[in-house]
Amino acid sequence: MANCPACEAELLDDDYTDMEVGDQVDCPECEELIQISGLSPLDFELASDDEDDEDDEDEVHDLDDEEEDEEDLDQ
Ligand SMILES: [Zn+2]
């Protein structure tokens, strides 16, 4: 068992047996994007594409799939 690095929710190993280190998943509790950093034991870290400002921009960037409402603002 591992814990979400964002909300400390318990994440069951059985849910991630097909995953590999580096795979990114959404925490089922807080929906934060987290990344598998180890498999034995299972461990997670916060996923971040941006190495520069780790704390500031996590929630601003990776929303491409979910920002359906804002694409037509120019018209
Ligand atoms: Zn979480």
Q: What spacing in Å lies between the alpha carbon of 71 and ligand 1's midpoint? A: 28
pLDDT for position 54: 52
Say what the pTM is. 0.62
Query: The dihedral of CA 11, 17, 19, 21: what is its sign?
Result: positive
Q: What spacing in Å lies between the alpha carbon of 72 and ligand 1's midpoint? A: 32
Q: What spacing in Å lies between the alpha carbon of 59 and ligand 1's midpoint? A: 14
Q: What spacing in Å lies between the alpha carbon of 11 and ligand 1's midpoint? A: 9
Note the Cα 20 to chain centre separation in Å: 14
Number of Cβ within 10 Å of residue 36's Cβ equals 20
* pLDDT > 80? residue 70: no
Q: State the Cα–Cα distance between residues 37 and 22, nearest whole angstrom.
A: 6
Task: Report residue 51's pLDDT band, with 50, 70 and 90 as the boundaries.
Answer: low
Q: What spacing in Å lies between the alpha carbon of 54 and ligand 1's midpoint? A: 17
Query: What does 5-36 look like in DSSP terms, one character per residue?
Result: TTT--EE-GGGGTT--TT-EEE-TTT--EEEE
